[in-house]
Amino acid sequence: MFGDLFEEDYSSVSNDHYGKGKKLKTKALELPAPRGFTSLSGIRNQGGTCYLNSLLQTLHFTPEFREALFSLGPEELGSLEDKDKPDAKVRIIPLQLQRLFAQLLLLDQEAASTADLTDSFGWTSDEEMRQHDVQELNRILFSALETSLVGTSGHDLINRLYHGTIVNQIVCKECKNVSEKQEDFLDLTVAVRNVSGLGDALWDMYVEEEVFDSDNLYHCGTCDRLVKAAKSELDDLEYMYDLFSVIIHKGGCYGGHYHVYIKDVDHLGNWQFQEDKSNPDVNLEDLRNEEELDDPLMILKAVLLQEESNLIPVDQLGQKLLKKIGISWNKKYRKQYGPLRKFLQLHSQIFLLSSDDSTVSLLKDCSLQAESDIRGNDQQLLKTLTSEPPGLNDRPFCPHWFDINDSRVQPIKEKDIEQQFQGKESAYMLFYRKSQLQRPPEARANPRYRVPCHLLNEMDAANIELHIKRAECDSTNNNFELHLHLSPHYHFFNGALHPVVSQTESMWDLTFDKRKTLGDLRQSIFQLLRKILHLPLPKRDGPDALPSLLLEFWEGDMVLSVAKFVPAGLHVYQTLDGDHLTLCEIEIADGEDIFVWNGVEVGGIQIPAGSDCEPLLLNVLHPATSNEEEECQQLIDSPHVFPSNAEIGSVFTAFAIPDGVILVNKTESVGEESWITIPKEDLKKTFREQGLRNGSSILIQDSNDGNSLLTKQGKWITSVNEIDWLQVKNLCQLDAEEEQVKISATLNTVVFDIRIKAVKELKLMKELAEDSCLRPIDRNGKLLCPVPDNYTLKEAELKMGSSLGLCPGKAPTSSQLFLFFAVGSDVQPGTEMEIIVEETISVRDCLKVMLEKSGLSGDAWHLRKMDWCYEAGEALREEDAALKELMLCSGDTLLLIEGKLPPLGFLKVPIWWYQPRGPLHRWKSHQDQTDCTFSQGGVWRADSIQDAPSDAHTEVSLRYLGDVEISEDATLGELKSQAMTLPSFSEFSIPSPAFLRAWTVESKRPGRLLRAHYQQLREYKLGQRTEICLEPLQKEENLGPQHVLLRTQMRLPGKRAYALPVDLVWDTARGWTAGSLRHRVADFYSLPVEKIEIAKYLPEKFEWLPIPSWNQQITKRKKKKKQDNLQGAPYHLKDGDTIGIKNLLVEDDDDFSTVRDDIGREKQKEFALGKKKSQEALRVRSGDVPSGAETPARPRGPEASLSIHVGSFR
């Protein structure tokens, strides 16, 4: 039954089994999903609270506990509304438990949240992410409830429901004196190793007699000497108990996952399996046979008649009985009729027992009589017993079992539960109820039974609000925006459509329900056109009167076509047909451009339509000619539009050049270009077949021109000499004869040799040979950390051609740290001060030294780390800790921040300005920011040139604005409002906080998207080191919990680069599947779904992870299909991820990477190798471990204790 409960299985250990849970707030923008078909609610996992969820569900499904808790009113417990009042006595834990139980019973949501309850426990986010033992939690929770209920009518609630007593009896073998001792308990712990079941375990622990003899005699008070005695527990025959909850643990002793099997005593849930819903009237005859099943004589006769010889072992008779009627003899008959063997002995006129009472059969006369009785009077009973028996849960009058696994609730049969007790998933904690406890009829299938009125009203109001908001959300999710372009406002020139006046005056936005048909859309456009064109309503009757009048304006049929903006202008693609089809069926996407025209021409010019003739905007370089028509050496770069299905040779016709050579630019790597000549036989190929795309460059030159700007190989000439030297600048003596020298070196040259050579060639004093050091100089001219003399250039990660500064002073020893530090968080590069300290110095002493060197005084300062992008990091809170203990290294930068760390309950949040690169992010400040400049306190990068290929997925532009100190009780909207008051924010023109999108900053990038505008910061559990970046929006957005915000980039055909990123909102209401995402991307980019490939970008690895087109995968063990989930491994898709899109119509290969990805991966390899060698060399010099020694395995951390904090009714 218990399987390998104590075997370690690290493969199944998970820190986050089902994800993090959030508080339930009906006013929040993220609406919870409604309940499933079971009509029961689960509980969301907060990260590691599966053990808590399993125990809470057990207590909730214990009617006696639930109703005893509900019986305590506000007059005894107080009210949650008064919890923040100074003098109010509010017992928060039982109130939150009441509210959670009411939500589980009545609130129409798939899963409830325990965030409010764990907050009342005093738990932090770390405790919610850490798993504990469920039995330990049970004892601590019961203790906290007892403490919370002192002084109320429920003070004995736990003792009344769960208290038990073990009576130990010791009987003296000499005088027969009986000594008794009582021990109280709330739960019983049994050893299950090497036992066949729970009965044997209980017998071994509490029933089996223990004998005191030999060297272990008992001192009898009556005999007043050591005697032989026997110890045993008093057997409680008064009550029988039924199992109703089994908490299951999967994993090892140090982690894993909990879920629970629970018997629904009050029939609150819908137990029918989904595949059985069509056949609800199952086993109705069982109700009519209830009286016959209550007669054990009739049941045992029927069981024995099914045996060929009417002979069966007594042990197997009990098993046959359980198999036939679904319940054991002990549970159904023992209380009234005694043990089975004793019952058979008492009815010796019917049953014949063997001499050793091991087998039983029916007496022949009784056998014939029993068969006759059953055939004559109990045909239905025999039919029931001989048919395939239903399990215990298959009978309507018996409670059913459910498997509750955090948010998921599924029905389960009792026979399936028995099969679960094996392997690594084993029963860990069992809950029993007295069999004699009967539930009142009015409690059956009634979740409102005994729920207090104030909770009923609260849940009813919450359900009404949920219903309204779900209706609004459904309407919002099904409405999308279409952009209408009317042909009279456009004219065709240079290969594409262009507005006559302006883009804004030529486009109208129409909000429409995507569930409506194309015919409905056509009628809506007619109505809109009447308003736009100011046409009066016709006087003639009939539904076709208005359309006929508008059609006269078109001079033909009205045709709706999908259009798209390309660099050349507006291009018309496919025409929409089928007025009976919905917009979803014809795959119209949100934000689609619809061109309204007659389907043939615009302004008298026939319009080419379709993806085949999509216009391409190319850069054409051709030689300029003088007035005398003599060729000049100057090239003219002029843009020109060609249809993508046109022949490349049409370039000559367009530029009136009779003949010549065409070359196409191919960019192979950064800074290097190559021109490839197109053979004459390929001039008849189309631009698309040659892989040209918007922005491609082509060169036209005369075939007789011998003075070409290109070499014979077709590549521009570049000259790069091999570099085998380092440049050393003199920073010791300003009046020296030489300012800098070049020192020849290789990667294996030692830094000491370079320094001595530099001192000699710079003709400096010999004293500097003993008191100087070399420091690398970065691109901005900043001096970096001194390089140890015993390093080679390769170990020091110095590249050939690098600049070094020869500076006075020795380099730090192996026990010293070279640190940069600066005052304040608004630090400009190169303004830091320097200090050398011992690595064993404490944070407090280091702070004093830095303050002294800065000329500052006072004790209202603290230190923070700063990373490479001048971003203030975590504070050094442990003032007595050594710098070495805090893992500080030479070259680290610390910030002297004025002011103490924020008080408890407040956050000091650094605010950053996040400006993604893309066509939808064009917010500008009041000042011209097109140049790349450093702003006050942070880094600002300018946007790239429009229409240039982009690798925006590799860059994140963040600008530090300042710090905001704010209460954890404030909302996200209040944080945005306070951030807008920062002085640095005045440069931006943001209408309101609703036009800002908030992200957490993780690894110098936007991390978690903070959605709900009115949610408290406390609920986000940001922590003291969390930083926020704000992203400007063009319009307000209302992202629901099912929406995922992705950055999409279309790959540019023929080049290893991508177009600028565009935000895409993906509705995951139908699942996080690859198929759903592919359809959304295809709709967004107006491409066939089978003609695209997508991949997720991993910026930390400079890699692309392709997302395949399949929707299902096969599990190896059970051979069952399950939907893939992009939330899980290996994709872990989340808000802000970059998705690359490849159009297979123009490019068909498997490579998603860019040139910058290759460079990034190579740098990562070099950095990792150099760091490893540097660390090994440092360990060798410090004498810690020998070179090449393996790092010892990290020891397991100490186990954290579990506690629930109960205040004075707070």
- Compute the distance between CA of residue 304 and CA of residue 291 in angstroms, rounded to an integer: 20
CA distance 1053 to 874: 44
The two three-digit tokens of residue 918, written as one number: 């893309």
User: What is the token pair recorded at 833?
Assistant: 């001060």
**Which residues face 1138 on adjacent strands?**
1047
Choose among 99, 100, 78: nearest CA to 89: 78
d(Cα 929, Cα 347) in Å, to the nearest integer? 101
What 3-state class would DSSP assign to 155? coil
CB 226 within 8 A of CB 166: no
Q: Return all residues near 663 (Cβ < 8 A) that are at least 6 apart.
A: 675, 676, 677, 678, 698, 699, 701, 710, 714
CB of 394 closer than 8 Å to CB of 326? yes
Q: Is 50 a catalytic residue?
A: yes
Peptide bond into 411 cis (omega under 30): no
Distance CA 475, CA 500 (A): 36
Exposed/middle/buried for residue 814 (C-beta within 10 Å: 0-12, 13-18, 19+): middle
How far from 225 is each of 171, 209, 212, CA to CA, in Å? 14, 21, 13
Which one of the listed residues 60, 132, 257, 953 is annotated catalytic? 257
Two tokens, residue 748: 């294996």
Neighbours of 446 (CB within 10 A): 15
Strand partners, 225: 220
Distance between CA 507 and CA 382 in Å, rounded? 79
* Joined tokens for residue 845: 């002493």
CA–CA separation, 804 vs 775, rounded Å? 5
Q: Residue written as tokens 């009550």?
A: 239
Q: For the chain, give the number of residues.
A: 1210
4 neighbors 424 (Cβ within 8 angstroms): yes
Distance CA 912, CA 996 (A): 12
Burial of 794 (0-12, 13-18, 19+ CB in 10 A): middle
Question: Among residues 17, 50, 400, 1029, which one is catalytic?
Answer: 50
DSSP 486-505: EGGGEEEETTEEEESS-TGG
Taking the C-alpha atoms of residue 556 and residue 157, their distance in angstroms, rounded to an integer, is 83
What does residue 806 show for φ and ψ, rounded to 5 degrees? -90, 110
- Quick one: which of 302, 272, 277 has its CA closest to 387? 302
- Sequence-distant (6+) residues with CB within 8 A of 709 are 633, 635
Which amino acid is residue 775, in one-letter code? R
Q: Give catalytic status of residue 257 as yes or no.
A: yes
Which H or E run includes 64? Answer: helix 63-70
Q: Which residues are tagged catalytic? A: 50, 257
